[in-house]
């Protein structure tokens, strides 16, 4: 029997997934810069890791599941360290484009505040078990004391297990996405058995027994006791099942405050990549808003929320692919009356084509919200080269203990 020799390495930095990286590069998960670690090399990964000299930033993970669960990546690091690391990622991305900015202090969502979770649920001999996958593993870790999810989501674990008992195949785990709404749980199931008469009866019983606000099985609505609305300013919006939502209500409020500040006293606002109106509807308290988005059902939800709300100014919607068909200067200055401000919140790919057109239209203020510092910095460079000033950046950590980074930024046209 051969024994691989243990090697010792010093961690130089964290990679974008939150793994420690030593020279090589050699990736060492759950280690921190400055730590001396030992382990066994497996390709470019270090395994069976022992921390020989811990970093001062190393802390006891707050969650007892952290060792086996793959849901979080950075619970072994102090909050201050993670905050500096996330702000540093955005600063480096901007600096790679030759840009600098004033950074507001980071806003971090509290523990137990996630409003949505996708649980994996496997049938077992005795019933079913729900949880998150382990790190790079098929094994499901049960998470009754998870520190990330809202307690109401933890309370939904038995519901997910009941769904698997009636509807999971023997081969694959069920994927159960549970979202908190104003009136109860909104549940979307994927990877289940095909629906038949008996399964429909069993699922309707579960909706009833647990008072689920809505249950969807793949594309089919099984039951809706009440529309599972989300608050959006004075409006209440019922998003399509599984549609994009900001990860925490707290993070959404911080992003909205930043967007409102960047938009200022604008009276006409265009909201690009508007989703179900997270920014459009609260902004409509003070401005007319035109919401543009690629998914028609999301805009239908936004529109209904607006129609049912009181006291909002006019909100119009437009379904449009903003990658292929960005709003042009003629659209951004309709009838010669320009929008005073644009909100732009694209997916990870960013909004290169739309940024070019905002420059051409010289829209006075832009609130840019991004979940990808690299594409944000690329688009910021387009805006700055086109005559915009980058006023400030606010990092919002609504993905606590993960390697994701979210931000809002303010630009004004200075010519």
Ligand X SMILES: C[S@@+](CC[C@H](N)C(=O)[O-])C[C@H]1O[C@@H](n2cnc3c(N)ncnc32)[C@H](O)[C@@H]1O
Interaction site with ligand X (CB under 6 A): 244, 246, 273-275, 278-279, 293-295, 298, 321-323, 345-347
Q: Find out whether the peptide bond into 297 is cis, omega within 30 degrees of 0.
A: no
CB-CB contact of 11 with 34 (8 Å): yes
371 is catalytic: yes
Point out the residue whose Cβ comes nearest to ligand X: 275
Shortest approach of ligand X to residue 95 CB, angstroms? 24
DSSP state of 248: B
Longest dimension (CA), the chain: 80
**139-159 b/e with 16+ CB inside 10 Å = b?**
ebbebeebbbbbeebbebbeb
Measured from the CB atom, the residue of 207 and 322 that comes closer to ligand X is: 322
CB-CB contact of 350 with 377 (8 Å): no
Measured from the CB atom, the residue of 147 and 357 that comes closer to ligand X is: 357
Of the listed 69, 72, 146, 371, which one is catalytic? Answer: 371
CB-CB contact of 73 with 63 (8 Å): no
**DSSP run (H or E) holding 283:** helix 280-283
Pairing of strands 235-237, 268-272: unpaired
Shortest approach of ligand X to residue 132 CB, angstroms? 23
Shortest approach of ligand X to residue 273 CB, angstroms? 4
State the Cα–Cα distance between residues 396 and 252, nearest whole angstrom.
Answer: 9
Shortest approach of ligand X to residue 389 CB, angstroms? 23
State the Cα–Cα distance between residues 408 and 243, nearest whole angstrom.
Answer: 21
Cα 361 to its chain centre, rounded Å, is: 30
Measured from the CB atom, the residue of 31 and 232 that comes closer to ligand X is: 232
Strands (E), 228-312: 230-232, 235-237, 268-272, 288-293
Measured from the CB atom, the residue of 250 and 345 that comes closer to ligand X is: 345
Measured from the CB atom, the residue of 297 and 364 that comes closer to ligand X is: 297
Measured from the CB atom, the residue of 12 and 286 that comes closer to ligand X is: 286
Q: Please, which residues have CB within 8 angstroms of residue 136's CB and are 6 or more apart in sequence? A: 70
Shortest approach of ligand X to residue 216 CB, angstroms? 17
Measured from the CB atom, the residue of 66 and 399 that comes closer to ligand X is: 399
Shortest approach of ligand X to residue 275 CB, angstroms? 3
CB-CB contact of 35 with 10 (8 Å): yes
Pairing of strands 315-319, 140-141: unpaired
Shortest approach of ligand X to residue 289 CB, angstroms? 12
Q: How far is CA 361 from CA 170, 329, 342, 413, in A?
A: 56, 4, 11, 10
| Catalytic annotation, residues | 371
């Amino acid at each position: 029997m051969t024994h691989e020799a243990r090697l010792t390495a010093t961690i130089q930095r964290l990679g974008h997934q939150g793994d420690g990286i030593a020279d090589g590069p050699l990736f060492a998960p759950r280690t921190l810069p400055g730590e001396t670690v030992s382990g066994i090399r497996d390709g470019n990964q270090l395994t069976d890791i022992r921390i020989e000299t811990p970093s001062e930033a190393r802390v006891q993970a707050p969650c007892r599941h952290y060792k086996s669960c793959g849901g979080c990546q950075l619970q072994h690091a102090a909050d201050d360290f993670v905050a500096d690391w996330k702000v540093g990622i955005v600063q480096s991305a901007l600096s790679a484009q030759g840009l600098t900015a004033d950074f507001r202090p980071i806003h971090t969502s509290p523990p137990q505040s996630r409003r949505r979770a996708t649980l994996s649920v496997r049938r077992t001999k005795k019933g079913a078990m729900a949880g998150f996958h382990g790190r790079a593993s098929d094994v499901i870790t049960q998470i009754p004391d998870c520190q990330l999810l809202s307690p109401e989501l933890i309370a939904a674990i038995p519901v997910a297990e009941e769904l698997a008992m009636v509807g999971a195949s023997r081969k694959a785990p069920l994927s159960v996405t549970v979202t908190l709404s104003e009136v109860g749980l909104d549940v979307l199931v994927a990877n289940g058995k095909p629906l038949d008469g008996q399964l429909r009866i069993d699922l309707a019983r579960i909706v009833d027994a647990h008072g689920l606000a809505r249950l969807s099985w793949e594309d089919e609505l099984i039951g809706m006791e009440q529309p599972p609305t989300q608050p959006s300013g004075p409006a209440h919006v019922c998003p399509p099942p599984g549609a994009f939502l900001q990860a925490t209500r707290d993070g959404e409020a911080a992003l909205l405050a930043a967007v409102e500040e960047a938009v200022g006293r604008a009276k006409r606002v265009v909201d690009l990549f508007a989703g179900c109106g997270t920014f459009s509807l609260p902004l409509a308290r003070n401005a007319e808003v035109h919401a543009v988005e690629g998914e028609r059902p999301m805009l239908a939800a936004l529109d209904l929320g607006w129609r049912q709300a009181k006291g909002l100014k006019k909100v119009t919607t437009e379904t449009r692919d903003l990658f292929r068909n960005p709003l042009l200067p003629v659209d951004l200055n309709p009838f010669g009356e320009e929008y005073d401000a644009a909100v732009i919140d694209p997916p990870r790919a960013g909004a290169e084509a739309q940024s070019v057109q905002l420059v051409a239209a010289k829209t006075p203020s832009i609130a840019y919200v991004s979940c990808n510092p690299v594409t944000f910095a690329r688009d910021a460079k387009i805006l700055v080269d086109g005559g915009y000033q980058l006023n400030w950046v606010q990092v919002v950590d609504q993905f606590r203990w993960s390697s994701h980074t979210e931000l809002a930024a303010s630009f004004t046209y200075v010519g």
